[in-house]
Structure 1
Amino acid sequence: MFKVRELILRNQKRIKRLFSDFLYKTMAGIISTGTQQLVVLPLLAKFFSAEMYGVILTIRGVYNAIYIGFGNSLANVRQITYTDYSKKGIVGDYNLLAWIFAGISAVLLVVTCFFVGNVTIFEMMLLIPSVFVATLNAYYLVHYNLVLDFKKLLFNSIISSSGAILGILLVKYTMLWPLPLLFSGIFSLMNLFFTTPRIREPFRQTELMFKTLSKYAILLAVTLVAQSLLYLDRLIVYPIIGGEAVATYSTAAFFGKSVAVIISPLSSVLLGYYCQDTFKMSLKYFWSGNIIVLVLSALFMLISIIMAPWLTGLLFPTLIDMANPYIFISNLAAILCFAGNVAQSAVLKFANIFWQIVIQVCYAAIYVILGVLVMPKYGLWGFCYVVLFANVVRLILLYTIGHYSIMLRGNIKS
């Protein structure tokens, strides 16, 4: 058992700054997630039938996987390679890559919409610029992590959420459900234009381009798999047991996923600190952080047992009866996923990037293969247990790989 109290006392100033940054980013997460989960999604569920709502959730899931996969992956590579570029005084590559992959993300979403179906031409015309802008936003937000300025991130979240609220108000009159995505992205990008110099960096290739691309390719594949799995419940459930089952599962997991998204900024804040030149990781830091996260996860799970049925019923009165039996197990899986995401920030920085592939392949194999096998016989219950098992295995892998990677780096402190 590590002396956690002694470690905290020796690093009070650093912990105070970390807590302050985490608070700002958590507030940003609460605002953006609260807007989506408490305003946008409940109103969409009210405006559309259960079947159509399931279709919307499926497409939004792919939308999120695409823009986060392409945009966040580039942002994470920017953080990992930040010192390589700064030491050589090189500026370039990233704006070029951001706009290219934003275009690719738009093409992928169009293909998805044709595959899922039930998307009108007007909705498609709104989704294409929405995912393009969202991909750019996901990358340009990296600036706040690089300079550890999370106050501006909070302000950006307020601006983006204002756009989403405007969009959902217009949905009532137009029935064009992509409007909250479009307005949210446009508002955010306009704010980023005035608050980050990254958006005005030159569109040019540098000597580090291919090194950066190789890292990006690996991380992109890993992130796309991870994000696809995050929303894979919709992609697997929809073709096997229908849109109503998608709506049921998404509603059941609503509280747990909302909590996980709200507190997930901790992993991003930690990665920002890990990428600073002065930071040295140790096993004590690694395990102390993970123990704290597990305690928080247990606390959030207790809260969800009390609050989840009530809040879910309040926000989704037409779906609560179908979703109620699945609330506990789906929330537990979502919170374990959050615990894994925090550990992953350390693994991403301090372990060989190859291990990211190993983790995601194992996770995906369990999730997809078992999910497809059990659903025809056991329905949504079988899928819920598969998701829980997959997140437990992922968490164990992250802890094991993180522990041994940090130990082998030789950065262990006494």
Structure 2
Amino acid sequence: MKNKKFLVDSLLNIISAALPLLILQLVSYPLIAKALGGEEYGLIITLISVFTVVSFPLGNVLNNIRLLKDNEYKEKNEEGDFNPLLVGSSFVSILLIIAISFYIDSSLTLLDYLLLSLITVASIWKEYLVVTFRLVLNYKGILLNNIYMSVGYLIGSIIFLYFESWQIIYFTGLLFSLIYIFRHTSLHKEKFKLSALYKDTASKGVLLYIANLLKNVLSYADKLILLPLLGPVSVAIYYSSTILGKIISMMINPVNSVILSYLVKVDNISLKKVIRMFSISCVLGAVGYLATVWISPYFLGFFYNDWAKESLELVYITTATAIISVLSTVVQPFNLRFNKISWQIYMSGLHLVVYVSAAYYFYKIGGLKGFTFGVLVAAVFKLIMQLSVFMLNYRRSKTVKSSKGG
């Protein structure tokens, strides 16, 4: 890796991820909370979690598989597969979002289902097509794309004030993003056919999708579990306590996509470099934790004053969970690149079992605060597991080598 370019690309990707996130967390979500109140806001946050869980894994999997296999397609002069997989993923997402949303809130209207389906599909297309910039390490393009999306979120937030439909915010942001991407990519113009590589691509895609789905279910399971246990107001209180921690973590997480983009260009990497990267992440995480705890009283008092007191009681725990989760995702690109993809399913499945068990056990002991501590326990377990799998593979090979297996 060229250190200077890697650092510049990481910085660009951090800024890229931060812009739309800050607009949503500091503008859009407070507007929704203020306009609709705690109970309705908690329900909406749960629906947003469903939309994210359904859409992000499908698009992100196609993005990562394209990144990992692009050279193979070029070497064998093959084309196709990805657009059929993209269309198929879109149909699957529509069915999932309608079924899960109906289970959560049966009072949703036909327009609600239509808008949820539209933003889910738009998110899948955006997540996949943005790989066009990652393939050539063009992180300036990703930054410009996210600037467009941020502007879309701002315009959507203004429209929300008149129609009070939160889906409009997401749809406008994703629409602006896709307009920019379509101007700079030809991936959607590839032949709609299956190539000789389809079977391997699809099978690896399914494995990675299952792993990513489990990962994303876990990322948003807190809201999905809390809603039936304690109701929408508790979801609002809990989510508000996690916002700053999520902002810090999501500003560090983009480094991981840069790491994977660079890792596909190399066949091995020294343990010393991995340790250095992880150590830097630990330092950044510690600084982020202290900053979040310090800022939280002012942030929550200003944006979510109605339930700020209750949220502040959880901030110390939820922020620690967010930072530890970041450290896990720093290790993940190395496991994804240099271990079999099937490892992702094993780790995600085991993490799911620990997550549900710990969260429910501590919820029975301490209610909302106990639940929050259980989520922290699961995050610590996941970090230990990611590090253990990486080190086991390293000790076996002595030098980390790319795994060709699925």
Deviation at 1:135, TM superposition (A): 0.6
Q: 1:231 aligns with which of 220, 231, 239?
A: 220
Equivalent in 60, 65, 73 of residue 48 of structure 2: 60
Amino acid aligned to 1:23: L
Question: In structure 2, the residue corresponding to 1:119 is in which secondary structure?
Answer: coil
Cα distance in 2 for residues equivalent to 1:379 and 1:305: 22
CA contact under 8 A between 2:270 and 2:400: conserved in structure 1?
yes
User: What is the match of residue 264 of structure 1?
Assistant: 253
Distance in 2 (CA, whole Å) between partners of 1:314 and 1:347 is 41
Q: 2: CA distance between counterparts of 1:376 and 1:120?
A: 35
TM-align CA RMSD: 1.5
Deviation at 1:283, TM superposition (A): 1.2
Matched-pair contact (CA < 8 Å) for 1:351–1:406: no
In structure 2, the partner of 1:3 is none
Compute the TM-score of the two structures, normalised by the length of structure 1: 0.94
Is the 8 Å Cα contact of residues 360 and 374 (structure 2) preserved in structure 1? Answer: no
Structure 1 residue 35 and structure 2 residue 23: aligned? yes
Q: Distance in 1 between matches of 2:81 and 2:312?
A: 49
Which residue in 2 is equivalent to 1:291? Answer: 279
- Larger mean CA deviation between 151-160 and 117-126 belongs to 117-126
- Aligned mates of 2:186, 2:258 — CA distance in 1: 20
Q: Which runs of 5+ in 2 are unaligned?
A: 402-406
> Is the 8 Å Cα contact of residues 254 and 312 (structure 1) preserved in structure 2?
no
TM superposition shift of 1:27: 0.8
The residue that corresponds to 2:131 in the other structure is: 142
Q: Which residue of 2 aligns with 1:210?
A: 199
1:392 and 2:380 are equivalent in the alignment: yes
In the TM superposition, what are the counterparts of 1:4-83 in structure 2 within 5 Å?
14-83=2-71
CA distance in 1, matches of 2:236, 2:96: 24
Whether the aligned pair in 1 keeps the contact of 2:46 and 2:223 (CA below 8 Å) is yes
Shift of 1:184: 1.2
Are 1:131 and 2:120 an aligned pair? yes
State the number of aligned residues: 400
Amino acid across the alignment from 1:299: V
SS at match of 2:16: helix
Query: Would you say 1:363 and 2:363 are equivalent positions?
Result: no
TM-score, L = length of structure 2? 0.95
CA deviation profile, 1:98-117 (whole Å, cap 9, x unmatched): 12101211211111110011
Post-superposition offset of 1:376: 3.9
The alpha carbon displacement at 1:377 in A equals 4.0
Is 1:315 matched up with 2:303?
Answer: yes
1:24 counterpart SS class: helix
Deviations along 1:207-236, one digit per CA (max 9) or x if unpaired, are 111101111111100101111111101110
Q: What is the CA deviation profile of residues 308-362 of structure 1, one whole-angstrom value per residue up to 9, with x for unaligned ones?
A: 2222222222221221100110011011111111110111111122221121112
Q: What is the alpha-carbon distance in structure 2 between the residues aligned to residue 151 and residue 312 of structure 1? A: 33
> Structure 2: how far apart are the matches of 1:107 and 1:305?
40
Three-state SS of the structure 1 residue aligned to 2:269 is: coil
Q: Specify which of 180, 189, 204 is matched with residue 200 of structure 1.
A: 189
- How far has the Cα of 1:279 moved from its partner? 5.2
2:78 to 90, 107, 112: 90
Match for residue 8 of structure 1? Answer: none
- 1:184 is aligned, of 173, 186, 203, to 173
Question: Counterpart amino acid of 2:26?
Answer: L
1:226-249 Cα offsets, whole Å, 9 max, x none, are 111111011100001111111111
Q: Which amino acid aligns with 1:287?
A: I
Once residues 130 and 81 of structure 2 are traced to their aligned partners in structure 1, the CA distance between those partners, rounded to angstroms, is 16
The Cα of 1:83 is off from its aligned counterpart by 2.3
The alpha-carbon deviation at position 145 of structure 1 amounts to: 1.2
Contact 2:324 / 2:380 at 8 angstroms: preserved in 1? yes
Q: Distance in 2 between matches of 1:29 and 1:53?
A: 24
Sort the Cα spacing of 1:299 and 1:368 in 2 relative to 1 into closer, same or farther, 3 A: same
Q: Distance in 1 between matches of 2:400 and 2:251?
A: 32
What residue is the counterpart of 1:116 in the other structure?
A: 104
**Aligned amino acid, residue 351 of structure 2:** Y
Measured after TM superposition, the shift of residue 18 of structure 1 is: 0.5
Distance 2:273 2:86 in 1: 33
